[in-house]
Amino acid sequence: MRRQLAALFLFCVIDTLGFGILIPLVPYMAHRFGVAPQYITPVLGSYSLCQLLAAPWWGHMSDRYGRRPILMSSLAGACLSYVLLGLAHNIWWLLASRMLAGLMAGNIAAAFAYASDVSAPEKRAATLGLVGAAIGIGFSLGQPIGGLLAGTSPDSANFVAPAVVSTALSLAAILLVRFVLPESHKRATADASLPRGRPRWAWRLLRERPALARLAAATLAVTYSQAVLESIFALWALKRYGFGPRTVGFLLFGVALPALVMQGGLVRMLVPRLGEARLAMWGVLAYVTGLVIVSQGATLGVTIAGLLLCGAGLGAYNPCAFALASQQSQGHDRGAVVGAYVSSGSLARVIGPFTSGPIFAFLGSSAPFLVGACVTLPAAWLVSRARPTQPEQR
């Protein structure tokens, strides 16, 4: 198990490093193409719209055919999307790149399902926290690296070099899965246990399992405000401070670093004391407080403090919510359950960017953060009510 987790940890770092490199850059690319703010953020939302459509299908396919084929297939699609992004010379190429990346984004759900496969139920929160920490490392390192590769100027930033590096990292992750990472969910087992015919799509699982539905609703709210923050922050920083990709990359590091610390170590110590549901609830409250601080911060120092608090809240919430969601599975359908749960986050990542730009343009630069805080606050109550309703079967 340790060897499997070590290989999975490395895979998640490499994979999300390539994705994280591009996070601070896409808004600046659209800005260079002359796109208005209310239309820039929907380009980011197109990725999640396609992911929303594809995630349950990827989860079902990983249950039936195993985790490794899904990991490698989705990474191959990511490589192609990075190539398109590097070649983009107008908004339509950029949009095509983001949509393709979303359609092929089955790797994260498969990685979490893999972690659930190889961990005992009582250790699942810690294991998912470890995977979340690997993802946090990739994002936290990727964003400043992307900023360094692009440069400081919004008008002359280099977008080709980050795309090339992201492509190379995805190819490296494919090789890692192919030659190092063993399969955790055998095809023979999956084919024997899963029903033939139509997959169980997200809406059906959520209707059948109320606790999973409450968790999905909570994650919808949390991820909505996170998507708002990620999609609008570059435009907000450009308007407020005149910052380019490099500075924005390092500021977003202020969200990723405390999330990494929380998921990588503190969750393991806090879950035995508080339990997953209570720790997730406190994570929501910390995140909401951080958003309010960012929106009202009069100085850069206050803004950084708010970003750090946002990161700590997300680091507490995400692995605990994933652990609670995985407890709603029956072993053989874990990938489908994770896919349904992830689809709620994908829906939020559609709604967030599609609304953050218009809110920014018409209600003011700080309004997206306040709206996100108001939407997220009820998630604290929802997650406190999301107790397991049935024993998990392995």
Domains and CATH numbers, the chain: 2-179+201-384 (1.20.1250.20)
Whether residue 336 contacts residue 63, with contact meaning beta carbons closer than 8 Å, is answered with yes
CA dihedral 294, 300, 301, 305 (to 10 degrees): 20
Would you state the pLDDT for residue 197? 38
From 111-120, 197-206, 343-352, the region with the lowest mean pLDDT: 197-206
How many Cβ atoms from other residues are within 10 Å of residue 175's Cβ? 12
Q: With cut-offs at 50, 70 and 90, classify the pLDDT of residue 200.
A: very low
Q: Which of 96, 356, 350 is nearest to 233 (CA)?
A: 356
CB 27 within 8 A of CB 86: no
Please say if the pLDDT value at position 118 is more than 80: no
Q: Is residue 79 predicted with pLDDT exceeding 80?
A: yes
Share of the chain above pLDDT 70, in %: 88
Determine the Cα–Cα distance for residues 87 and 29; give it in Å rounded to an integer. Answer: 12
228 versus 59: which is more confidently predicted? 228
Helices in 151-200 by DSSP H: which ranges?
160-179, 187-193
* Residues 12-20, mean pLDDT to the nearest whole number: 81
pLDDT tier for residue 189 given thresholds of 50, 70 and 90: very low
35-61: b (≥16 Cβ within 10 Å) or e: bebbebbbbbbbbbbbbbebbbbbbbb
Q: Is 144 exposed, middle or buried (0-12, 13-18, 19+ CB in 10 A)?
A: buried
CA pair distance 321, 386, nearest whole angstrom = 9
Nearest CA among 286, 288, 287, 275 for reference residue 384: 275
What digits encode the pLDDT tens for the residues 247-284?
Answer: 888 888 888 888 878 876 788 888 888 888 889 999 99
Burial of 389 (C-beta count, 10 Å sphere; 0-12/13-18/19+): exposed
